[in-house]
Amino acid sequence: MMGMSTLLTQFDRYFDLKGLSDFSSLGVSTIRGYITAGLPCYKVKGKVLIKRSEFEGWMCKFRINEAQNLKEIAEEAVKVVRESKK
């Protein structure tokens, strides 16, 4: 039987860039741009790791609500990526 800490560790795991790309359906270069724009990450021996819970929390700011204008959200996402490339 698994303990609670084992279950939490399996759910709240760390992804490398490729793993997070597969999980999120975002491209690796897009994720790199988001890291530059403030996505929390860790660097261990040159490998970039992103914790699932931190990624999901960060993604909440991109959630579309009925009251928001879709065009406004798209423009903000483009702005974040452009600023990360400066």
The parent domain of residue 24 ranges over 11-84
Helices (H), 1-86: 4-11, 17-24, 28-36, 52-59, 70-84
| Residue 16 three-state SS | strand
Compute the mean pLDDT over every residue in the chain, rounded to the nearest whole number.
85
Question: pTM score, two decimals?
Answer: 0.66
Residues 11-38: what's their mean pLDDT? 95
> What's the CA gap between 42 and 53, in Å, rounded?
13
* pLDDT tens-place string over residues 29-51: 999 999 999 999 999 999 999 99
Task: Work out how many domains the chain is built from and give that number.
Answer: 1
User: 2 lies in a domain?
Assistant: no
User: 6 lies in a domain?
Assistant: no
| Per-residue pLDDT, 22 | 97
User: 60 lies in a domain?
Assistant: yes
